[in-house]
Structure 1
Amino acid sequence: MVTQAAAVVDDFSLQLTLVLFITVVVVTLFTVLLTAPQHDEISEFYLGNRDMSPLRNGLAMCGDYLSAATLLGSTGLVALTGYDGLLQLGGTVVAWMMVLLLIAEPLRNSGKFTLGDTLALRLPRGQRSVRLALALCTLVVCLLYLVAQLVGSVALLTQFIGDPSRTARAMCVVVIGTIVVVYAAIGGMPGATTIQVVKAVMLVAGVGITAVMVMQHFSWNIDRLLSSAADNSNLGDEFLGPGLRYGGTTANKLDFFSLQLAIVLGLAALPHIMMRLLAPRTTQVLRGSVVWAVGLVGFVCLMAGVLGLGATAIVGREQIAEVDPRGDAAILLLAHQLGGAVLEALLSSLAFITLLGVAGGLTLAAASSLAHDLWSEVIRKGKAKQTEELAVARLAAVVIGVLGMMLALLSWGTSTATLAFLAFAIAASAILPTIVYSFFWRGFTGRGALLSLYGGLLCSVLLVVFSPIISSHPTSVYPDADFAWFPLQNPGIVSIPAGFLLGWLGSLAGGREEPAAAATGTSAFDEFQVRALVGTDQG
């Protein structure tokens, strides 16, 4: 566990940050109450007002994805590792291209409220068992990512007060978690959309203005920025070349490839991202929304790279590492150098708002899957009333929020990046094979879906348990134990192919499960493919 001995932010910045944070929270909570679903209709709670423009929905998608890990972690990674940090940022943009080209339109055309509805349409036989497996995977992915956000809030708190006491950690997690539960349980998708749009606008503006200040500092000369970063890194040209973080041993290189594979493929299967893809009313709005999201996420990642290099060039790599070995303090130290306490407070409050936005989206996605897939379709066998399902969804949001808070307090000291990237790996290993096979393989069966979901989940978790994340390393959860036979920190390079392989083997072993539709005589897959490729504009 890595902690800080002293705070990064001075008293004035702390007070200003607190004022800004409370102001934004009060305004957004009031807005959530105003925009919350006014009727007991699950469609409004799950999908909200479907009259959003492509820009607004694109901003919401951007807000759903970009977390404090991008603002703090990615910037710090660039500041400490240079080229390798920039390379990792590039994977995010490629991941959104995967969503645009492969997943977005077929999912929106064939889905209703959750991915479970798509799978039920594609695999009508045994759909309840598939929904159950999908709900479990969704819960695990969302909880891991939610815990990462809540643990990140405590890590951010250390920038203000130094190493927090147990009471301070608990208060921070409970306050942030409670706000998140209110966002999800009361606001539903309309409230979550409002929060995400506000957050995305603030994030794009914040990183853009700070990046402009960095470039102005170097007279808009990129060569000066790069040379100054290399000089102040005390590593020279090595800082601008590959291998500083992921070079050297074969295990390091494989770890980087495994991580990038999880990021690129996992994004397309994150439950809160898929839920957002179902919200547009027409495919034209969806295309425009994803294009906006790609552009906005790409812009923020580009600015994060500029800020990371600027932090090294202006503050110095050794000073950043001395304050926080993980580099999370890099952007705050840079802000203090460029704009003093005011800019530092603005970016600090922005980081907290970013945490809230992502955590709210995750809680809503998990609650929707539990209420719709597990309760309504599996337990109640499709006979639940809308008011009943809506009540279950809100109760599930509270339960997930409380569970996330408890796990976050137990997980203190675990890297937020590790938790987040494990969620990506599970999504890519369990959920993505099921999506791809459902859309593009006629021979895919319910047994194949179950093996993909359960097998990908189990494989990912087991590999992490027996990896250096848990034991055999000074930064492990149990540093004194040694049972890590899997050498990589991210399981994606093994678990993702395993998920696809299990889906293929299960489908072959399960025999033919493609009944013909009684009315038309065409196969269920043919009808599904027409729906997925052509679709209907949903009202």
Structure 2
Amino acid sequence: MVTVSEGIVDRFSLNLTFVLFLSVVVVTLFMALLTAPQRDEISEFYLGNRTMSPLRNGLAMCGDYVSAATLLGSTGLVALTGYDGLLYLGGTVVAWMMVLLLVAEPLRRAGKYTLGDTLALRLTRLQRPARLALAVCTLAITTLYLVAQLVGSMALLTQFTGEPSAATRTLCVIVIGTIVIVYAAIGGAPGATVIQIIKAVMLIAGVTVTAVMVLHHYDWNPGALLSAAADHSGTGTQFLEPGLRYGVSTTSKLDFFSLELAIVLGLAALPHVLMRLLAPRKVDVLRSSLVWAVGLVGLVCLAAGILGLGATAVVGRETIAQTDHKGDSAVLLLANALGGGILTALLSCLAFVTLLAVAAGLTLAAASSLAHDLYGEVIRKGRASETEELMVARLSAAVIGVLAMMLALISWGANTATLAFLAFAIAASAILPTIVYTLFWRRFTGEGALLSLWGGLVCSVLLVLFSPVVSSTPGSFYPDADFAWFPLQNPGIVSIPAGFLLGWLGTVLSERQGAKGDAAYAEFEVRMLVGAKE
């Protein structure tokens, strides 16, 4: 990661950001403690308030998904690459449509607390090994994504202070990580939901107001905004055409396709998103909630696109690239140009709160899977009491938070987008094939689930280890080494088909279940289509 030598934010903005962030943290911590589960019931800790309105559920879903990478990274990508960045934002909205149309309703009807419960209901054999494999995949995905959020907090701090010292980085990660642990371990799903909703409202308001300021700056003429962006991009009209970043070569085109494939398919299998799908008690509430989520995420992505173009038009592409070659500083530079220190502080505070909210949801999802699937069902074989499982869930949240903090400090300088996109690729390669086959293939067996989960995970990780992400380029983890025989940075184009193929292969090579398997699927299908009384 290339860092700036000095912060781009003045002292006034820094102090105001600190006051605003501290105020939001105090309020949300108080509300999280106030809404925390009062009884030792795992359903309340895992799923929270199941009678929320569709709008509140939609806000929580939006808050769970939209990370600081959308506010900073996606905006910067648009500012630096124009059309290609806008195309990337479009993939996010399509991904939510996949969730709405493919897995949401069947999974909600057939699920309970985690995806492991759905697998156990569907499979006649190898239920516990499948839960173990699923817990490992969940831990890998959530840890990668969580580390990306914590590394992102240090990258955001860089915008204020320049390259921070080791002590400053450590303090930043410990503070953010500790707050996240409190949200997840004490507040559970109710506490995490509170911060998700508050964060979503703040995010939508912040990016919408700033986008309105950009459009007002150009007299509400989108053509004038596009022309100014092209003029200040240094590339002319090529800025508004495809290929500025991903069309340089066949490899870059394949890399972009692989990335979009991982985003579109991976969202439907992210553990914290899947848990949010199980929260509404009624399917019609889930359906309306997802419609709200699609609309809200679409609004945020539209605003992010306007902010990216506005940053290029107002600040200039060269200035953005000189400040931070990844473009993460674009939105703060734009805010400073349009609204001075106050707007800069507001958006900076919003970025920090966004990091907190996403990290809390990830920690809760990982803790739930470890406590319910691994401890409750694999280790204790379903004999753990609710009080015991709840204690393990809270302890797991603390352990995962500490682990993520340690990995984030070790990973200082890593590209946060790379970590997040690897998490998407693992989800799409390991968990999504298992979900699709579980819900829609009568023949699917435990052997297929195990091969799909373990195979998708191993394939994704191995391809990344031998890709330019790890070696052979100046931006790699080990730039001086060269063992990158896989040319793409995202493995999705290979690992996702491999996950589906392995799930199919494991099933067709396993012993047929016969009448027992048909009866199990028939019962599962009725529940998936009709649901169960609760």
Same fold at TM > 0.5: yes
How far residue 2 of structure 1 moved from its aligned partner, in angstroms, is 1.3
Q: Does 2:279 align with 1:279?
A: yes
1:43-442 alignment, distance < 5 Å: 43-442=43-442
Between the aligned partners of 1:536 and 1:22, the Cα distance in structure 2 is 44
How far residue 515 of structure 1 moved from its aligned partner, in angstroms, is 5.2
Q: Does 2:503 align with 1:503?
A: yes
Between the aligned partners of 1:124 and 1:118, the Cα distance in structure 2 is 12
Q: Which residue of 1 aligns with 2:527?
A: 531
Given the superposition, is the C-alpha separation of residues 515 and 194 from structure 1 closer, same or farther in structure 2, using an over 3 Å criterion?
A: farther
**Counterpart of 1:523 in 2: which secondary structure?**
helix
Q: Does 2:28 align with 1:36?
A: no
How far residue 513 of structure 1 moved from its aligned partner, in angstroms, is 2.8
How far residue 537 of structure 1 moved from its aligned partner, in angstroms, is 5.0
Given the superposition, is the C-alpha separation of residues 515 and 2 from structure 1 closer, same or farther in structure 2, using an over 3 Å criterion?
A: farther
How far residue 379 of structure 1 moved from its aligned partner, in angstroms, is 0.3
Query: Which string of whole-angstrom CA distances, capped at 9 and with x for unpartnered residues, describes residues 282-306 of structure 1?
Result: 0010000000000000000000000
Structure 2, gaps ≥5 residues long: none
Query: Which string of whole-angstrom CA distances, capped at 9 and with x for unpartnered residues, describes residues 209-237 of structure 1?
Result: 00000000000000000000000001100
Q: TM-score w.r.t. structure 2 length?
A: 0.99
Query: Which string of whole-angstrom CA distances, capped at 9 and with x for unpartnered residues, describes residues 43-82 of structure 1?
Result: 1100111110000000000000000000000000000000
Amino-acid identity (%): 75
- 1:125, 1:513 within 8 Å by CA — same for their partners in 2? no
Between the aligned partners of 2:233 and 2:343, the Cα distance in structure 1 is 24
Given the superposition, is the C-alpha separation of residues 514 and 298 from structure 1 closer, same or farther in structure 2, using an over 3 Å criterion?
A: farther
How far residue 435 of structure 1 moved from its aligned partner, in angstroms, is 0.2
Query: Which string of whole-angstrom CA distances, capped at 9 and with x for unpartnered residues, describes residues 439-496 of structure 1?
Result: 1111110000000000000000000000000000011000000000000000000000
Between the aligned partners of 1:429 and 1:405, the Cα distance in structure 2 is 26
The count of residues paired between Structure 1 and Structure 2 equals 534
Query: Which string of whole-angstrom CA distances, capped at 9 and with x for unpartnered residues, describes residues 163-221 of structure 1?
Result: 01111111111100000000000000000110100000000000000000000000000
How far residue 124 of structure 1 moved from its aligned partner, in angstroms, is 2.9
How far residue 125 of structure 1 moved from its aligned partner, in angstroms, is 1.3
Query: Which string of whole-angstrom CA distances, capped at 9 and with x for unpartnered residues, describes residues 233-252 of structure 1?
Result: 01100000000110121100
Alignment-mate amino acid for residue 307 of structure 1: L
Between the aligned partners of 1:149 and 1:533, the Cα distance in structure 2 is 37
Query: Which string of whole-angstrom CA distances, capped at 9 and with x for unpartnered residues, describes residues 238-284 of structure 1?
Result: 00000011012110000000000000000000000000000001001
1:415-494 alignment, distance < 5 Å: 415-494=415-494
Shifted more, 118-127 versus 368-377: the winner is: 118-127
Alignment-mate amino acid for residue 433 of structure 2: P
Query: Which string of whole-angstrom CA distances, capped at 9 and with x for unpartnered residues, describes residues 343-364 of structure 1?
Result: 0000000000000000000000
Between the aligned partners of 1:102 and 1:372, the Cα distance in structure 2 is 25
**Counterpart of 1:33 in 2: which secondary structure?**
helix
Between the aligned partners of 1:516 and 1:445, the Cα distance in structure 2 is 12
Between the aligned partners of 1:357 and 1:514, the Cα distance in structure 2 is 47
Between the aligned partners of 2:387 and 2:513, the Cα distance in structure 1 is 35
Between the aligned partners of 1:329 and 1:439, the Cα distance in structure 2 is 43
Alignment-mate amino acid for residue 156 of structure 2: L
**Counterpart of 1:516 in 2: which secondary structure?**
helix
Alignment-mate amino acid for residue 523 of structure 1: A
Structure 1, gaps ≥5 residues long: none
Query: Which string of whole-angstrom CA distances, capped at 9 and with x for unpartnered residues, describes residues 388-437 of structure 1?
Result: 00000000000000000000011111100000000000000000000000
How far residue 536 of structure 1 moved from its aligned partner, in angstroms, is 2.9
Between the aligned partners of 2:9 and 2:444, the Cα distance in structure 1 is 55
Between the aligned partners of 1:237 and 1:513, the Cα distance in structure 2 is 61
How far residue 113 of structure 1 moved from its aligned partner, in angstroms, is 0.4
Between the aligned partners of 1:76 and 1:40, the Cα distance in structure 2 is 45
Query: Which string of whole-angstrom CA distances, capped at 9 and with x for unpartnered residues, describes residues 109-159 of structure 1?
Result: 000000000000001311000000000000000000000000000000000
- 1:4, 1:323 within 8 Å by CA — same for their partners in 2? yes
How far residue 516 of structure 1 moved from its aligned partner, in angstroms, is 2.9
**Counterpart of 2:9 in 1: which secondary structure?**
coil
In angstroms, what is the RMSD of aligned CA positions? 0.8
Between the aligned partners of 1:322 and 1:514, the Cα distance in structure 2 is 65
Given the superposition, is the C-alpha separation of residues 53 and 365 from structure 1 closer, same or farther in structure 2, using an over 3 Å criterion?
A: same
Q: Which residue of 2 aligns with 1:8?
A: 8
Alignment-mate amino acid for residue 222 of structure 1: P
- 1:514, 1:524 within 8 Å by CA — same for their partners in 2? no
